[in-house]
Amino acid sequence: MASLDLAFVRASFPAVSESRFVYADNAGGSQCLGSVVSRISDYLLHTNVQLGADYSVSVASTSRVNDGIEAARELLNAASVDEVAFGSSSTMLAENLARALDGDILDDEEIIITGEHEANGGPWKKIAARRNLTLNYWHARPGFYNANNPYSVSLQIDDVLPLISPKTRIVTFTACSNILGTIVPVKEAVRAIRKRAAELGVRKLEVCVDCVAYAPHRRIDVQDWDVDYCFFSVYKVYGPHIAVLYARAASLQDSVSSLSHHFLDVKTKSYKLQPGGPGYELVYACTGVTAYLKSLSVTHTIEATFELIKEHEQGLIARLLMFLRSDWCTRRGVRIVGDHSIGPARVPTISFVVIGDRAIRSQDIVKAFDQQGDIGIRYGHFYAYTLIDHLEPKIDVSDAVVRISLVHYNTVEDVERIISVLSAQLMA
């Protein structure tokens, strides 16, 4: 069976190959490919001019940016580059989308959101408050994986269906939680949501999916999923600090108002969600991400590469989860927040708390790693404030959880070093 060439993988990331530092906060932002940085530099040094002119440097610059848009289209598997918009962050793009949809939402309609990252919740909360719309929460179900651990929560499709009413307009959820590490079966969820909406005679229902925590680990396929909107941050997928938004052509035509200049003919183009041009050098640099991903598999396809990534990451998940859910850790008060099982339905973003008579604050656990000096992990709510606040028994939202977030350039040796520091902290 083919496997990742870890030597090649790690050599592709200067920060990883040139240091023993263990980067284990990847859900906050991955390390950047050397080839991506080279593209940024080369663009700025040699083709840093305005697009669309007929002189040679502008022609080259325009071609490079178009290549970057095509790279983003390929990462999403969108049908057309006209369905792809860019922005500085996923949070900004979600805000733009909500603003552009405001005029197509009726006064008595309803919106369903999850308690995950606020990027995919906040914009809809603001519309609901401003327009006095009904906002319904698709909450994670407690104790789903382990009845003895109320923090083993999970989003379940059966829990969103009763929230749908004849007035539901938007359903927005995460493909993968940046806290729980659990993958939501997007295609199945969308199919069930649309079926229920059709049964109820909903006027218009559209689905928006947050793929920020999903994109580094699995293949996005907006066409197969049948979603209307989808976004992710390229800087969490080994690329530049830029984000991408997919908007289905039909939605661009019929649902979305333009945020762009009034004289531009963008009725069916994603540019209507992009008020002004993005950083051209960053768009071009997205080509480095697709080129790298294709280089990792013998078939040179993104689909094959993500299968290799998944296989490698399962080894990381298995070693860390076996430790965290061991009898010793359980007796010590360690409780995994989310899915404790080892399998393809989760990614190596693993959160936990230490409770009981010898409870340890999450920030104190992380402090021990900071003092170690060569491993980076984090504590907190990671902008999934509502999810953390909804956990029972209650935990301090300001302290929240310890999160260890790995990706395919991490190794089993990295995991062993993390476990060593954590073991010492738990035994202290």
Greatest CA span in the chain, whole angstroms?
Answer: 72
Q: For residues 244 and 400, what is the distance between their CA atoms, to the nearest angstrom?
A: 29
- Cis check for the bond before 393: say yes or no (omega within 30 of 0): yes
Sketch the domain layout of the chain as residue ranges: 6-31+301-427, 56-292
Helix (H, G, I), strand (E, B) or coil at 415: helix
Residue 143, pLDDT score: 83
Give pLDDT tens digits for 70-85: 999 999 999 999 999 9
The alpha carbon torsion through 224, 139, 126, 177 (nearest 10 deg) reads: -50
Cα–Cα distances (Å) from 372 to 18, 56, 126, 377, 424, in that order, read 19, 53, 42, 11, 11
In 92-237, DSSP assigns E strands to 110-114, 134-138, 168-174, 206-210, 229-233
Helix (H, G, I), strand (E, B) or coil at 6: helix
For the segment 214-229, the average pLDDT, to the nearest whole number, is: 98
Q: Is residue 2 very low, low, confident or very high in pLDDT (cuts 50, 70, 90)? A: confident
Extract the tokens encoding 31. Answer: 């390390």
Q: CATH for 56-292?
A: 3.40.640.10
DSSP tag of 77: T
DSSP assignment string, 364-379: HHHHHHHHH-SEE-EE
Residue 218, pLDDT score: 98
6-31+301-427 carries CATH number 3.90.1150.10 = yes
Output the CA torsion sign for 308, 311, 317, 320.
negative
Note the pTM of the prediction, 2 decimals: 0.96
Q: Is residue 31 very low, low, confident or very high in pLDDT (cuts 50, 70, 90)? A: very high
CB 72 within 8 A of CB 84: yes
CB 163 within 8 A of CB 136: yes
Q: Is residue 276 very low, low, confident or very high in pLDDT (cuts 50, 70, 90)? A: confident
Give pLDDT tens digits for 97-128: 999 999 999 999 999 999 999 999 999 999 99
